[in-house]
Chains A and B, each alone.
Chain A
């Protein structure tokens, strides 16, 4: 599903280049549930952005579902993000002026579906996540746990090849966090491939496999 070979990434700091990721080799099989565990500044978010095709590597090779991402144009990467990746963000990243339904169906609209088709397709996901009674609400009217469920629903609705979760419980209370992790396990059991980054070992332990990242280097 994911194959990364010798990935390097750095950012310019004045005249000097600060290395963030160093010779990363990473492999994820279809149906896996992997947690990337690391402290702040370790490079885990940068790695996540590269896996999610939102940032580009300086060198190395990256294959997602058989596609050479390192050799793909920005326009094509847009399609990859829409079709193959489902993002779940720590701070939910919902569009505040849209209601729950409008937020959830956005990835489907981007595929060219009309409003009605998209709403029909996402009805099952909405039921699965228990958001039936909230579809007309704006994000500001939801609790943190509900917002994260909307974010998960939006990630799931397009049936992506992989779910990428960036600190999914970081902004939630303990109870809501547990619910989300339980949901991830259920989704994984349903066949979804999940890669989650976290700095919390307890959260990481909900995954089937843990990979540690320290100073831009990956350790199994």
Chain B
């Protein structure tokens, strides 16, 4: 029989059993929608990671200190990888520790625990007893001078403060970032209007600020209105000397779009006092030197702060960790989609078996009047494929429909033609694979037996 005629028969069967077709295809609908959403969410996640890190200098290394109260959690973070390493300079002073700087990086980063030297309890006690440390501009200068392979160093901190002014009717809290003049260049920040903070403004502790684009729009309505205006941070007036372009990235733990940047020293004098936890950012001259620079940074800091642990993380590892996390989520969703497809496929197989049973007499008639095994196999297989295709198309449409809902939960969804084609393909393949066996059984029916089936 011609393929076109078989397709015509399949079409007749499908339109005469619309409800059955819809019910049968539900598994494929869900499976296809899941596959499409998995691909879209996976792609969206990758794009988000890429966007978050697009302005991040690959050679950037952040050094922070967290006090003993929060140490335990930080240690776990450093120990589990992801580019952060917890450094304990105190190793040099432990009873069993050797001399020199190398021990800090080696134990905190590579061996991942204090038990190498003795009991874990002993190490924990040391950590709890360590001094409360605040990184300073002196530390920054030490790193600039003593660590080879460093192209630039800066120090920054962030705090929340009450902001008034512009078109705002009431005070709001904003992230205030105390930074130095080189912060903008090191974090690849671009200015939409005006200039970034200068060394002179920092040294003279001037009350000036640069706004992120989102903050400028929220406070003044636009970047143009914000420029050269005055706003009040903790009731003190600051002149807006510049507004950043929209960045969408996070640098040194600060989201530039929503932050207000002020000179480092100005912030300490008027807003935070000495109660800050600054981050020193070091830029390695060469990305390949990052590990070496980290080791040297840790060595220099261990010399300045014995018995103190710092968190050192580099941009590349942050990206890897974010990507790994995203891939894990994608794998989980793919596993879910596969399960849905298998369940959907079994559903199709069941319905087709019932269909073969229901149509056994008709198959007998067709065989009696000369329909070949191939034609019967093709007819049932194409029926399964068409049901799957219909399900897959509905699934793709469903995915398109639920995308806005998913985005409401702040999940980035990046729909693509490839995703749609793949989900259609997966749907049709699943239906065809699971539909083959019932179709094969139908084609092998003995004419006289099939014909006498009630």
Contact = CB atoms under 8 A, between A and B. Distances in A.
A147 interface: no
Contacts of B49: none
Interface residues of A, number: 30
A112 B2 contact: yes
B1 A110 contact: yes
B375 interface: yes
A79 interface: yes
Main secondary structure of the interface of B (DSSP, over half): helix
B365 A110 contact: no
B5 to A, nearest CB: 5
A8 interface: no
30 contacts: A49-B448, A54-B451, A74-B373, A75-B373, A78-B367, A78-B371, A79-B372, A81-B368, A81-B369, A87-B369, A93-B361, A95-B362, A95-B365, A96-B362, A97-B12, A97-B16, A98-B12, A106-B369, A106-B371, A109-B1, A109-B2, A110-B370, A110-B371, A110-B372, A110-B375, A111-B370, A112-B1, A113-B2, A115-B5, A115-B8
A179 interface: no
Contact of B368 (A93, A111, A113, A114): A93
- Using C-beta atoms within 8 Å of the partner chain, give the interface range for chain B: 20 to 34
Given A98-B12, A110-B1, A114-B4, A87 B368 contact: yes
B448 A110 contact: no
A107 interface: yes
Contact of B451 (A82, A93, A109, A111): A93
Given A55-B448, A93-B451, A102-B12, A79 B370 contact: yes
A216 interface: no
B372 A114 contact: no
Interface of B: 1-2, 4-5, 8, 12-13, 16, 361-362, 364-373, 375, 446-448, 451
Nearest to B13: A97
Contacts of A93: 361, 364-365, 368, 451
Contacts of B12: 97-98, 102
Contacts of B366: 95, 106
A38 interface: no
Interface in A134-165: 154, 158
A54 B2 contact: no
A86 to B, nearest CB: 8
B242 to A, nearest CB: 75
Interface in A90-130: 93-98, 102, 106-107, 109-115
A43 interface: no
